Amino acid sequence: MTMSELTRWPAEEGDGSYTIQQTTDPLGILTSTRAVIDLAKNVWINTEHIEQLSKRWIQEDAQGQKPAMPLWDERYHFSDGTGRTVNWLLLLDALNFCFWAEKDQPRWAIEYQKQTLNGYWAEAAALKRAVEEGLPLWDAEYLRTISEETMAHIFRGSGTIPLFEQRVQNAREVGHVLLDRYAGQFTNAIEQAKRNAINLVLLLERDFPSFRDVAVYRGQPVRFLKRAQITVADINGSFHGQGWGNFTKQDQLTIFADYKLPQVLREYNVLEYEVHLAQKVDNKELIQAGSEEEIEIRACTIWACELLRQSLQRQGHAMTAAEIDMRLWLLGQRSEEMRPYHRTRTMYY
C-alpha cells in the first residue's frame, strides 16, 4: 500500500470508525454522504493531512494568527434589521450559486461603489444596489412576477451572470412560495420553525424546490442542502445572532458543500483526486452535475470537514462546522494560486 493509501479514510470498505449518532445528524447529511465515502473511487480523504491541518490551525491560533472571523459585511449586504432583510437574504441565497465563467472567459463582474466585484460578492452587491435604486426585492409580490429585463438590469455588469434563466425562476419561486405559505414574510417561516436552525433548513427543503440539494448516488439519495443551510447561517450572520438571527441547533449544521471548499481542502492535500479526475479539474473541464465524480467531491468535502471538526475537538480546540466552513471559504477567496476548483454547472451551489 502506498503512503496515501495507509492514511486514506476509510482504510477499507465498511470501516466502522466514526459511527454517527442520529442526534448529531438531524439533516441526514453525514449519514447519506458516509455511504458515498465507502464506495468512492475518484476522491478520497487523507487523514494524516487532516491532522496536519488541525495542528496548523491550532498553531496559528496560538501564535495569534487566527484569521479574524469577519463580521457580517454590510458594504455588500442589504441590512435594515427588519423582516425586509430576512426576505432579501432568502433571495440572496436562492441565487447564491455558480459564479464562474466558461473556460478562459473572464468572470461576470459588476461595478459597485467604485469597486469591481465578481463571484458571490458581485451577487450580493448587485442585489443591494437594486434595493438602493428603489427595487423592493424584499417584496414577495414583486418577486413572484419579476421580469427577465428587471433581473438583467439587477445583474448588469461585464459579461453575463451564469445560469441567468435559472436565477429568474428561483427569484419568482421565492415570491410565490412566500405568498402561498408565509403571507409574504420569511419571518413567519422562522417562527413556524420555532427558531430552530434544523427545522428551518428542513422547511426550506420542503417548501422551496430550488433549495432541494439532494443527489442520487448508485440509486441512493445523498443530502447536501447547501443553500438551505447557508440561508440559516446568513440570517444568523446578518442579525449578529440576535432577533431573527437567533437560532437554536446551529451547531448541528454541516459545512456548506460549495465549489471553493473542495479546492482549498485539495490544496492542503486533505482531498485527493484520482488521476483522470485531477486532470479534468485542473484543465477546467466540466464535471457533470449528478455524476459520481461530482457527488464524491462533495461527500468527501462534508466528511473531511467532519473529521477535521472531530480532530480539533479531540485536541481541545473545538470549532463548529460553520466556523470551519467560514475559515476554509475565506482561504478560498485567495485561491488564484491554488489548483482550480471543479466546474459543475448547477444551481445547487
Ligand X SMILES: Nc1nc2c(c(CN[C@H]3C=C[C@H](O)[C@@H]3O)cn2[C@@H]2O[C@H](COP(=O)(O)O)[C@@H](O)[C@H]2O)c(=O)[nH]1
Residue positions annotated with a catalytic role? 258
**Is residue 57 part of the contact set for ligand X (CB under 6 A)?**
no
Interacting positions 218-237 with ligand X (CB under 6 A): 234, 237
Three-state SS string over the chain comes to CCHHHHCEECCCCCCCCCCCCHHHCCCCHHHHHHHHHHHCCCEEEEHHHHHHHHHHHHHHHHCCCCCCCCCCCCCCCCCCCCHHHHHHHHHHHHCCCCCCCCCCCCCCEEEECCEEEEHHHHHHHHHHHHHHCCCCCCCHHHHHCCCHHHHHHHCCCECCCCCHHHHHHHHHHHHHHHHHHHCCCHHHHHHHCCCEHHHHHHHHHHHCHHHCCEEEECCEEEECCHHHHHHHHHHHHHCCCCHHHCCECHHHCCCCCCCHHHHHHHHCCCEEECHHHHHHHHCCCECCCCCHHHHHHHHHHHHHHHHHHHHHHHCCCCCCHHHHHHHHHHHHHHCCCCCCCCECCCCCC
Which is closer to ligand X, CB of 179 or CB of 286? Answer: 286
**Is residue 74 part of the contact set for ligand X (CB under 6 A)?**
no
- Which of the ranges 32-40, 217-225, 253-261, 288-296 carries the binding residues for ligand X, by CB under 6 A? 253-261
Interacting positions 107-126 with ligand X (CB under 6 A): 119-120
Which is closer to ligand X, CB of 95 or CB of 137? Answer: 95
- Which of the ranges 96-104, 154-162, 273-281, 312-320 carries the binding residues for ligand X, by CB under 6 A? 96-104
Shortest CB 134 distance to ligand X, Å? 25
Are the beta carbons of 186 and 137 closer than 8 angstroms?
Answer: no
**Is residue 80 part of the contact set for ligand X (CB under 6 A)?**
no
Shortest CB 99 distance to ligand X, Å? 4
**Is residue 96 part of the contact set for ligand X (CB under 6 A)?**
yes
Are the beta carbons of 345 and 162 closer than 8 angstroms?
Answer: yes
**Is residue 148 part of the contact set for ligand X (CB under 6 A)?**
no
**Is residue 99 part of the contact set for ligand X (CB under 6 A)?**
yes
The residue with its CB nearest to ligand X is 119
Which is closer to ligand X, CB of 147 or CB of 333? Answer: 333
Distances (CA, A) of 23 to 3, 31, 164, 326: 35, 11, 39, 24
Which is closer to ligand X, CB of 137 or CB of 257? Answer: 257
Distance CA(21)–CA(334), nearest Å, equals: 36
Contact residue for ligand X among 205, 258, 293, 296 (CB under 6 A): 258
Number of residues forming the site for ligand X (CB under 6 A): 20
Residue 286: what residue type? L
**Is residue 247 part of the contact set for ligand X (CB under 6 A)?**
no
Shortest CB 191 distance to ligand X, Å? 23
Which is closer to ligand X, CB of 10 or CB of 340? Answer: 340
**Is residue 329 part of the contact set for ligand X (CB under 6 A)?**
yes
**Is residue 78 part of the contact set for ligand X (CB under 6 A)?**
no
**Is residue 97 part of the contact set for ligand X (CB under 6 A)?**
yes
**Is residue 70 part of the contact set for ligand X (CB under 6 A)?**
yes
**Is residue 83 part of the contact set for ligand X (CB under 6 A)?**
no
Q: Tell me the angle at which helices 197-207 and 226-238 cross, rounded to the nearest 10 degrees.
A: 130
- Which of the ranges 27-35, 52-60, 66-74, 81-89 carries the binding residues for ligand X, by CB under 6 A? 66-74
Shortest CB 307 distance to ligand X, Å? 17
Enumerate binding residues for ligand X (CB under 6 A). Answer: 70, 72-73, 96-97, 99, 119-120, 234, 237, 256, 258-261, 325-326, 329, 333, 349
